[in-house]
Amino acid sequence: MNRLHTERWGRRSLSVCWILICLLAPAACGGVKPQEHTLAGQTMGTTYHIKVVADASADLAELQAKVDARLAQINQSMSTYRPDSEISRFNALTTADTPMAISPDFLRVMLAARELYHLTGGALDGTVQPLVNLWGFGPGGPLQRIPDDAAVAAARGRVGFERIDIAVSGHLTKRIPDVTLDLGAIAKGYGVDQVAILLDGMGFDHFLVEIGGEVYAAGQRPDGRPWRVGINRPQPGGPTDAVHAVVRLQNSALATSGDYRQYYEIEGRRFAHIIDPRTGHPVQNDVVSATVIADNCTFADGLATALAVMGAREGVALLDDLPGVEGLIITRQADGTLVDHPSRGFAALANP
């Protein structure tokens, strides 16, 4: 399954804590020891971290400059918080049937979002922003009262990925004037993949890229073992470095979506930020965390959000139907107990 080729993108929680063990081992020839170099910075309203295994002569300043430039390019394309970005210009269109030329980055993300929309039966929908705003998770902040059915129906009338036409020539067209896009559920993963492609093109074989908790790992650590990545324990208000499970990654990506960082309570009810586009309401399915392991982070990022919407039973069934894709969905019972729902092959990737 080859699918590799926000500023407030961080609406989803930074739900992956990555565990990097820097044990250096001699190279096979010349006695040269590979070193693990670290880069860090900010992008998409969150942070990024990169581990690169290379010799001491690696030009880290040049590498960081190229990474920052590539991420700035992606952010300029898909940040809804920049009025001059491509996505903001598309959202500002007030007429239907008017094609807008878009960049290759925007086109690739839109094609991936459309694939996931159909694959998940609409559980991932890049046009869901009107419902996100209605339920108090947009710029307006938390609600003072629960929206009534009429308000939900009105917002749903502006939602639906099928209301946007995507031409492979590189054009987007609205079918209704007020449909808008927010690709925050997939764009961080795309950023991870593009940095991985950049590093690979510069000749690096062993590295780990993380943006806002979404990860791609290539090759191995300096000690010759796979990279190890921790899935955050999904406890409201808990520490970001509390580990629920650890998986081994090699030439694969991991992304997690959860409801335990961004939520509020009103009228005695708890509402999390993950909205089901099919119903127009925040999800109420006991899922607190959904993790996906796939061959690229764009797909893993979007699918993790969809699984949190779909629920454990339907989500695991989908994971088991997808070749080369594994995952772990965690639910919380009424007494607070966490229950794991792994895909068929997840255990083979998890460390004891």
Nearest to 80 by CA among 202, 194, 183, 220: 183
What is the CA 137 to chain-centroid distance, rounded? 17
98 is in an annotated binding site: no
295 is in an annotated binding site: no
All residues at 6 or more sequence positions from 52 whose CB lies less than 8 Å from its CB, including other chains: 36, 37, 38, 39, 58, 60, 63, 199, 204, 206, 207
Question: Are the beta carbons of 187 and 76 closer than 8 angstroms?
Answer: no
Give the three-state DSSP class for 43: strand
Beta bridge partners of 52: 37, 207
For 89, the enclosing helix (H) or strand (E) is helix 86-91
Backbone angles phi, psi at 38, to 5 degrees: -120, 135
305 is in an annotated binding site: yes
Question: Are the beta carbons of 10 and 42 closer than 8 angstroms?
Answer: no
Question: Are the beta carbons of 112 and 299 closer than 8 angstroms?
Answer: yes
- Which pairs count as long-range contacts for 177-181, CB under 8 Å and 24+ apart, including other chains? 177/93, 177/94, 177/95, 177/96, 179/127, 180/90, 180/91, 180/127, 180/129, 180/130, 181/80, 181/87, 181/90, 181/91, 181/126, 181/127, 181/129
DSSP code, position 125: -
Distance CA 296, CA 155 (A): 32
Beta bridge partners of 256: 291
Annotated binding site: 185, 301, 305
Which residues are annotated binding-site positions for Mg(2+)? 185, 301, 305
